[in-house]
Copies of this chain bind each other. A is one copy, B any other.
Amino acid sequence: MARTDWNRPPLAPLGEGLRRIRMTVSYDGAGYHGWQSQENGVSVQQRIEEALLAMLGEQVDVQGSGRTDSGVHALGQVCHFDIRSKVPVRAFKPRLNHLLPPDIRVMEAEEVDGSFHARFTTMAREYRYLVKQIDDVTAFDHHRIYAVKELPSMELLEGYAACIQGTHDFSTFCAAGDLSPSKFRDIYVSKWTLGKDSYGYGLLTYTICGNAFLYHMVRSLVGTQLDCAHQGLSVQAFREILDSKDRGRAGRTAPSEGLYLARISYDPDEYAWFEER
């Protein structure tokens, strides 16, 4: 049974005369207090709701696949909203992009039926975390990567990442304030890759894909792996930290600026192999 079913309310059919629009959105998180509306500071969701009000004359509630923290970026955040307007769906992308600030872009918009829900029908979430050695930071990286003094051993990082893959109780990597009833999560992909940025400078990327994540879990996993690798800690010792379920044994929480919500999957078959392992 997929664990994303927790707390899922029954999906109601769309109300009379309502249409549901699904959108994929990219945003540069540097200028926002996260995805969801907060008391202080502007959120991405709020900017999209304002643009929809200007476009449609309707007050619309936008539902994201999940929150992102202040400063966290998105390449493929997914959201949905219900409208009464008859505006053709192909008009949403160009008209909203005209109204939105340039650090929020609608990449796709399509009409879906009431069985789609951006949050409750999510099957997997993929994050990327970008790290660079400070020597390789260019003028185009500000607020978009985490700069470290030296890159640690790839062999250790790869070993740690392999431990994370699978189903685990991730209490070690869960910040205070997480209200999830269970700290178990299914991690389908967890890997480090050392490559180049578009200009040929070294770029270290951590990719993690799972059914769901605890509060600050990705940033805590990244910070702890980097700390452990810098200290030369063995893969076995890292596994013990993971198994300890003791938040006190985690390393730093890596900064938000390196984190990208990369992709949301709604395909129940994409990781169907996972439950059978």
Interface residues of A (CB under 8 A from B): 26-28, 73-75, 93-94, 97, 102-105, 107, 134-135, 137-142, 144, 197-199
Q: State A86–B138 Cα separation when bound (angstroms).
A: 27
Does the CB pair A198–B199 fall under 8 Å? no
Contact B199 A142 (CB under 8 A): no
Option from B94, B107, B140 in Cβ contact (under 8 Å) with A28: B140
Does the CB pair B107–A138 fall under 8 Å? Answer: yes
Assuming A26-B139, A27-B139, what are 19 further A-B pairs, CB within 8 angstroms?
A: A26-B138, A26-B199, A28-B140, A73-B139, A74-B139, A75-B138, A75-B199, A93-B135, A97-B137, A102-B139, A102-B141, A102-B142, A103-B139, A103-B142, A105-B137, A105-B138, A107-B138, A197-B198, A198-B198
Complex CA distance for A13 and B190, rounded to whole angstroms: 57
Q: What's the nearest-Cβ distance from chain B to residue A272, in Å? A: 24
8 Å CB contact of A26 from B93, B135, B140: B140
> Measured between C-beta atoms, what is the minimum distance from A32 to chain B in Å?
10
Name which residue of chain B comes closest to A136, CB basis.
B107
Chain B residues near A197 (CB, 8 Å)? Answer: 198
Residue of B nearest to A138 (CB): B26
| Cα of A71 to Cα of B156 in the assembled complex, Å | 42
Q: In this complex, what residue of B is CB-closest to A197? A: B198
25 A-B pairs within 8 Å (CB atoms) are namely: A26-B138, A26-B139, A26-B140, A27-B139, A28-B139, A28-B140, A28-B142, A73-B139, A74-B139, A75-B138, A93-B135, A97-B134, A97-B137, A102-B139, A102-B142, A103-B139, A103-B142, A104-B139, A105-B137, A105-B138, A105-B139, A107-B138, A140-B144, A197-B198, A198-B198
Q: Give the docked Cα–Cα distance between A97 and B93 (Å).
A: 39
- Docked Cα-Cα span, A199 to B135, in Å, equals 23
Measured CB to CB, the nearest residue on chain B to A199 is B75
Task: Report Cα–Cα, A137/B103, bound state, in Å.
Answer: 10
Sort A-B residue pairs by CB-CB distance and give the 8 closest, nearest first.
A102-B142, A26-B139, A26-B138, A28-B139, A27-B139, A105-B139, A103-B139, A75-B199
Measured CB to CB, the closest approach of chain B to A133, in angstroms, equals 12
Q: Report the separation of the CA atoms of residues A74 and B138 in the bound assembly, to the nearest whole angstrom.
A: 10
A144 to B140, CA, bound (A): 9
Q: Which of A97, A138, A198 has the most CB of B within 10 A?
A: A138
Q: In angstroms, how far is the closest chain B Cβ from the Cβ of A220?
A: 25
